């Protein structure tokens, strides 16, 4: 950082650093009111503030923006953060877009405080346990469905030409070690749209929905198709156009999933490598 100097009211290269004063805040707020956001480097020239554009932007985004939500992260928001972190990893700004009024910095701090040291809160532990349980149930359910389906296909084939019956485990085989491809493939045939409203309503500060509901819906949906869930959560504005969804790789698992007591690390619940999301939010495999 600044070496031994620390955060006094020092100036470096003519720029003030350290905590902002109320006068500086006022200058910045007035400036943004007049000129809007952006062009941060011109703020100092126009206002006389001895702050770099970077510093001005940060102060505005993290502290002065009028739509910021103050106060503690709610359990609902916490659940969403967990979900989205599992989905996106450390893409704090992306996660923040799904939590109106919260900044990436806030979420980042929250995550580091609560989860970085491998000591998740009770709420998170419950959410995680529920997630894992639900995942297991859904996998079982899916396997049964596939077996049923396979049985029907076999019966049909036998009826039609009596040959060419495949091994029933073709698709289900993926489930053992690959939580991404088979699941996504399956789910994207019918992505569920409902949780968007739930997540957004809670994130918007309503807090009226029980967190169980949030987790249930979010988990179910994420499990079915994480990418589409995220796209829905983010609205039309955020589209991972044609990109690969390798979101659950190193960072997430490194930070949280070290305690692999149950074999499935929290941060690597989904491996989306190889998943492509098109503009409409439909996932495909390549």
Partner DNA sequence: AATGTAGTCAACCGCAGGCAT
Partner DNA sequence: CATGCCTGCGGTTGACTACAT
Residues forming contacts to DNA in the complex (CB under 7 A) are: 1-2, 6-7, 12, 16-20, 37-41, 51-55, 57-59, 62-63, 72, 90-94, 104-106, 108-110, 112-114, 117, 119, 251
Min separation Cβ 210 and DNA, Å: 23
Min separation Cβ 92 and DNA, Å: 4
Min separation Cβ 237 and DNA, Å: 11
Identify the H or E element spanning 97: helix 92-97
Closer Cβ to DNA, 108 or 130, answer by number:
108
Four-residue CA torsion sign, 59, 43, 34, 28: positive
SS (HEC) of 164-227: CCCCCCCCHHHHHCCCCHHHHHHHCCCCCCCHHHHHHHHHCCCCCCCHHHHHHHHHHHHHHCHH
Distance between CA atoms of residues 21 and 35, nearest Å: 21
Min separation Cβ 283 and DNA, Å: 21
Closer Cβ to DNA, 17 or 128, answer by number:
17
Distance between CA atoms of residues 209 and 217, nearest Å: 11
Closer Cβ to DNA, 106 or 217, answer by number:
106
Closer Cβ to DNA, 119 or 156, answer by number:
119
Closer Cβ to DNA, 73 or 184, answer by number:
73
Q: Is-contact 238 209, C-beta < 8 A? A: no
Identify the H or E element spanning 284: strand 283-285
Min separation Cβ 74 and DNA, Å: 12
CA 168 to chain centre: 35
Neighbours of 213 (CB within 10 A): 15
Closer Cβ to DNA, 28 or 215, answer by number:
28
Min separation Cβ 125 and DNA, Å: 15
Residue entry with tokens 């589209």: 239
For residue 22, what are its two tokens? 């109320």
Identify the H or E element spanning 149: helix 122-160
Min separation Cβ 135 and DNA, Å: 25
Min separation Cβ 167 and DNA, Å: 42
Closer Cβ to DNA, 110 or 185, answer by number:
110
Closer Cβ to DNA, 162 or 237, answer by number:
237
Strand pairing of 11-12 and 15-16? Answer: antiparallel
**CB within 8 Å of 178: residues ≥ 6 apart:** 271
């Amino acid at each position: 950082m600044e070496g031994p100097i620390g955060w006094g009211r020092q100036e470096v290269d003519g720029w003030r650093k350290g905590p902002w004063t109320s006068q500086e805040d006022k200058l910045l707020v007035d400036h943004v009111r007049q000129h809007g956001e952006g062009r941060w480097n011109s703020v100092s020239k126009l206002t006389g503030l001895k702050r770099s554009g970077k510093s001005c932007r940060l102060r505005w985004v993290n502290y002065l923006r009028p739509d910021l939500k103050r106060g503690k992260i709610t359990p609902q928001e916490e659940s969403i953060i967990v979900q989205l972190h599992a989905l996106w990893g450390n893409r704090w700004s992306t996660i923040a877009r799904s939590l109106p009024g919260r900044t990436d910095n806030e979420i980042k701090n929250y995550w580091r405080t609560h989860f970085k040291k491998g000591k998740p809160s009770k709420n998170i532990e419950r959410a995680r346990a529920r997630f894992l349980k639900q995942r297991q149930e859904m996998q079982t359910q899916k396997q049964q469905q596939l077996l049923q389906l396979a049985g029907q296909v076999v019966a049909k084939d036998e009826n039609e030409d009596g040959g060419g019956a495949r091994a029933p485990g073709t698709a289900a085989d993926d489930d053992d070690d690959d939580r991404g491809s088979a699941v996504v493939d399956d789910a994207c045939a019918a992505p569920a749209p409902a949780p968007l409203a739930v997540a957004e309503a809670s994130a918007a500060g309503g807090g009226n929905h029980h967190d169980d509901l949030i987790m249930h819906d979010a988990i179910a949906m994420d499990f079915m198709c994480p990418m589409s869930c995220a796209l829905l959560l983010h609205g039309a504005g955020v589209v991972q156009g044609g990109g690969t969804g390798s979101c659950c790789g190193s960072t997430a698992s490194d930070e949280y999933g070290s305690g692999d007591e149950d074999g499935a690390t929290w941060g690597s619940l989904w491996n989306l490598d190889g998943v492509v999301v098109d503009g409409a939010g439909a996932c495909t495999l390549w």
